[in-house]
Structure 1
Amino acid sequence: MSGVVGIVSKKKVGKELLFSLNSIQHRGQDSAGIIVSDGKNLTRMRGSGLVSEVFSEKNLNKIDSHIGIGHVRSSPEGLNQDYNIEPLFSFIKGEEFSIGNDGNIMNYKSLKQDLENEGISFHTHTDSELIIFLIARYFKGDIVEAIRKTMAKLIGGYSCVIAMPDKLIAFRDRLGIRPLMLGHNEENIVIASENSAIEILGVDDYRDLEAGEIIVVDKDGFKSYKMEEDLNPRHCIFEYVYTSRPDANIDGINSYMFRRRCGEILFKESPVDVDLICPVPDSGTPSAIGYAQASGIPFAEGLVRNRYMGRTFIKCTQEEREIAVKQKLAPQKAVIKGKRIVLVDDSIVRGTTSINLIEQIRAAGVKEIHLMITSPPFKYPCYYGVDTPNKENLMASRLDVEEMREAIGVDSLHFISLEGLISASKTNGESFCKACFTGDYAKYGEKI
């Protein structure tokens, strides 16, 4: 899971990149990087840590450049080495070239092996390097044609931004699994994973890139190159459940309203008699509000969130995640002691963080805990860009709901139904990838 930004601006682009990357920090906390162009050459700056730890507004404001791309990265376990930090820098037919990617290529290993058999040496563990090599193979002066031929080889979810000395290019995978948006006004043309990175620059006119669409931005503006094939889009439904910011408007759906409706639907599907409705902040908060409003039961902040802690789900290791949960969330004894509560969370993946959290809440003297989850059981790994463990490490793939309830230590455990989740989107659900819940993985040119 990562976040990407690309900007062509009449202003100096360094500070603009900083603001945009800060706005999508929730998509990656391990590292951050930018590439800027002075019109002739590309310059890279990157480092491990949060955006604010890697860059300063003062230093970036000195950059005299009007084209740039940026990336925030959440590394899979064991792959957070310095050489994997994006954007990656390379040369294609003598031209400087840089790429940042949010996603995962399912056929990465086979494509990589083919290239290695031809004598190509890889220097990172990232899918982005594979994409660079494929584009280089097909590039004969027409970057759009090279990207189109590359996309025909790739199976998976990806949203990429590319910087060349005189232009910015972006493209979204052929099923539109990973999000990517284009916004523009008189001063800026911005491409980003979420609208928050666009709106922070004062750009209110934006849209989603279509599945398979390529955008090329240069001094004359931008041009769109759309797919000629008629493919069935498969947008990631987990974006609305957890990944995106609450104010994200992705493919016509607002994340906050989606999550709040999930809470309302959960109450209809699983009503319980309790004293308080409490969220696991922050992604569980809109749903807890929806459950409280639908039930008429008071909403309360039963857990206090340490605002200086980042996301726990995208930590590299299980040990880091467990420690981070204890640092991030603290039970409010004065609020929940002796009470029967509904606790609303977005998902159960590995289950270990839920177990640790419930232990803390029990120790605070809660009388009953009824855990409500605003997604169906997470039974299958994601291969499209959300870093989830192997199937045997997914709690819902090993245990049924009653066994999960007992393992977590709650009085009752309820998941929203898949039908309820789709209903919250106010669509028929045909455009979603739901593989993490169903095991039906998106296939190119075929329906799920």
Structure 2
Amino acid sequence: MCGIFGLVSHEPVNQLLYDGLQMLQHRGQDAAGIVTASGHSFHMHKGSGMVRDVFRTRNMRDLVGNAGIAHVRYPTAGNSKSAAEAQPFYVNSPFGIVLAHNGNLTNTDELYENVCYRDLRHINTSSDSEVLLNVFAHELEKQVEGSDLTVEHIFGAVTELQKLVRGAYGVVALIAGYGLVAFRDPFGIRPLILGKNIDAQGREEYAVSSESVAFNGLGFELWRDVAPGEAVFISFDGEFHSQQCHPQATLKPCLFEYVYFARPDTVMDGVSVYQARADMGVSLAEKVKRELPWKEIDVVMPIPDTSRPSAMELAHHLGITYREGFIKNRYIGRTFIMPGQAVRKKSVRQKLSPVESEFRGKNILLVDDSIVRGTTSLEIVEMARDAGAKNVYFASAAPEVRYPNVYGIDMPTRAELIATDRTVEEIAKEISADGVVFQDLADLVAVVRNLNPKIDGFDTSCFNGEYLTGDVDEAYLERLASGKISVELLNKVKPSLVDHSVRIDDDLDDDE
């Protein structure tokens, strides 16, 4: 999962891009990057770490121009340790293009063989995002064939790309000397949202973001979502164009975005994330009534922060006291994003601290957004018992996560998922809880769909193993689990010189 942001303005955009990235920091803490456009030149700075650590004042001064794109990275494909895989990526032909991508492709190796290897386009990293950039560049080159670039050429390239590419993708890209392109996969699995502003001179400015929250405080208003299969082009002069590029597009966004990833103050695909999570608490309360001795529960407590709306509504619906029993240290990174089980387990007690007086002698119902690996849940239950809780029950606003997510969420193997081949009772035993309740998938789907009946369906693959793109089978999942998919691509990548005929200011060091 990553965060992408793009702007076309009539004033310098470096500060706005930085501020927008800060609002998307929750979508990735591994790396950050910004590219701005000035005439036919790109100006880039990117590196490993959080936004505040990657950019210094001198870097910001060099990011000149009235348009740009930005990215925060949470690695799911490629080498998470490599600063070279920080986005945006750049290719010099045709025209000079930089691209940032949120999502994950499922046919990366095929694309590499058919487009990059066959057509002699060079890939520097094992990132599927760089492959996607080269597919777009190749299709754009085929459209133009020596003539001047037009909007029709750009939309034609996206149309051809969508015939070739499978998986989930929200994309923002800059074409040197022309403008900003944004497009979304035909299922709309990953979000992509448009913002709009009228400046003091009455001129229109546009923004594109993974979440509407990035518009808050920047003067932009949420305009609409980029539709599944749609492409938009905004010239550097501020002219807006759009076209549906896929004939069978259908809106089936990732359900896990509403459960966990998106910020609660975001609206995506017409759904308030906060309201969705609050409504999840109501439906979950009904299941708690059926499956737990709920009248014996003294206190409902959220696991901060994403579960708070669900926990509050659950407590209100059951008429049980709601209390904040865990205090979060906000200077510790999110454990879901941290690589490695040992690091995740160690960080839980650093991140959360119990208020012992809220637990002592009480029957506690803990509410979390989901239970994925179970490591965090086990540590939290043990912390509640250590603080003096008599009985500890656990409720998940999401159903059991039983399958890997291949569309951009770091759930790479079934072996890592606590719900794999376990009953609810066995899961409760694994996390040391006196009882566990999971949201029913049908109820979760109904909650979100009720907020926007125009949604055709959802990507629910991590809950039921049904993959929208139709190309994910058991053999694919076995290759993914063994790491062979990324290794095979990495073995094809050969070092080479990169032609910087369009000027790139790419400074990866962290010093002042």
Q: CA deviation at 1:389?
A: 2.5
Partner of 1:321: 344
Alpha carbon RMSD of aligned pairs, Å?
1.8
Partner of 1:201: 218
Partner of 2:8: 8
Partner of 2:171: 160
Q: Which moved more, 1:213-222 or 1:312-321?
A: 312-321
Of residues 321, 339, 345, the one that matches 1:298 is 321
Tell me which amino acid in the other structure corresponds to 2:195.
Answer: G
Q: Answer yes or no: is 1:174 the counterpart of 2:186.
A: yes
**Counterparts of 1:228 and 1:243, CA distance in 2:** 27
Partner of 1:28: 28
Task: Encode CA deviations 1:326-377: one digit per residue, 9 max, x unaligned.
Answer: 2111111121121111100011111122112222222111111110000111
* 1:63–1:113 CA distance, 2 compared to 1 (3 A): closer
Task: Encode CA deviations 1:119-171: one digit per residue, 9 max, x unaligned.
Answer: 54421121111112212222224222122211210111100000122311110
Partner of 1:261: 279
Contact 1:75 1:316 in 2 (8 A): no
Q: Answer yes or no: is 1:417 the counterpart of 2:440.
A: yes
Task: Encode CA deviations 1:304-332: one digit per residue, 9 max, x unaligned.
Answer: 10122232111122222222222111111
Partner of 1:191: 208
**Counterparts of 2:246 and 2:409, CA distance in 1:** 28
Note the 1:76-115 alignment, pairs <5 A: 76=76, 78-93=79-94, 95-115=95-115
Q: CA deviation at 1:228?
A: 5.2
Note the 1:404-443 alignment, pairs <5 A: 404-425=427-448, 426=450, 430-443=456-469
**Counterparts of 2:10 and 2:432, CA distance in 1:** 56
Contact 1:42 1:164 in 2 (8 A): no
**Counterparts of 1:245 and 1:126, CA distance in 2:** 26
Name the SS of the counterpart of 1:424 in structure 2: helix
Contact 2:30 2:75 in 1 (8 A): yes
Name the SS of the counterpart of 1:92 in structure 2: coil
* 1:59–1:86 CA distance, 2 compared to 1 (3 A): closer
Note the 1:115-130 alignment, pairs <5 A: 115=115, 117-118=117-118, 119-130=120-131
Name the SS of the counterpart of 1:26 in structure 2: helix
Q: Which moved more, 1:98-107 or 1:348-357?
A: 348-357
**Counterparts of 2:338 and 2:164, CA distance in 1:** 31
Q: Which moved more, 1:225-234 or 1:169-178?
A: 225-234
- With normalisation by structure 1, the TM-score equals 0.95
Q: CA deviation at 1:115?
A: 4.2
* 1:338–1:61 CA distance, 2 compared to 1 (3 A): farther
Note the 1:264-303 alignment, pairs <5 A: 264-271=282-289, 272-273=294-295, 274-303=297-326
* 1:205–1:408 CA distance, 2 compared to 1 (3 A): closer
Name the SS of the counterpart of 1:246 in structure 2: coil
Tell me which amino acid in the other structure corresponds to 1:133.
Answer: N
Q: CA deviation at 1:420?
A: 1.6
**Counterparts of 1:240 and 1:328, CA distance in 2:** 23
Contact 1:32 1:72 in 2 (8 A): yes
Task: Encode CA deviations 1:26-79: one digit per residue, 9 max, x unaligned.
Answer: 000011000011112001101111101111467525643101000000113852
Aligned residues: 444
Partner of 1:134: 135
* 1:21–1:57 CA distance, 2 compared to 1 (3 A): farther
Name the SS of the counterpart of 2:113 in structure 1: helix
**Counterparts of 1:85 and 1:59, CA distance in 2:** 16
Note the 1:201-220 alignment, pairs <5 A: 201-218=218-235, 219-220=237-238
**Counterparts of 1:144 and 1:57, CA distance in 2:** 37
Tell me which amino acid in the other structure corresponds to 1:153.
Answer: L
**Counterparts of 2:360 and 2:238, CA distance in 1:** 63
Tell me which amino acid in the other structure corresponds to 1:22.
Answer: Q
**Counterparts of 1:186 and 1:61, CA distance in 2:** 25
Contact 1:46 1:54 in 2 (8 A): yes
Tell me which amino acid in the other structure corresponds to 2:280.
Answer: C
Q: Which moved more, 1:71-80 or 1:99-108?
A: 71-80
Tell me which amino acid in the other structure corresponds to 1:148.
Answer: T
**Counterparts of 2:45 and 2:378, CA distance in 1:** 40
Name the SS of the counterpart of 2:228 in structure 1: coil
Q: Return the index of the structure with the highest Cα Rg.
A: 2
- With normalisation by structure 2, the TM-score equals 0.83
Name the SS of the counterpart of 1:235 in structure 2: coil
**Counterparts of 1:39 and 1:310, CA distance in 2:** 38
Contact 1:350 1:389 in 2 (8 A): no
Contact 1:405 1:413 in 2 (8 A): yes
Contact 2:116 2:131 in 1 (8 A): no
**Counterparts of 1:179 and 1:213, CA distance in 2:** 12
Higher relative contact order (CA 8 A, sep 6+): 2
Task: Encode CA deviations 1:159-203: one digit per residue, 9 max, x unaligned.
Answer: 000012231111011110000001111133100000011223111
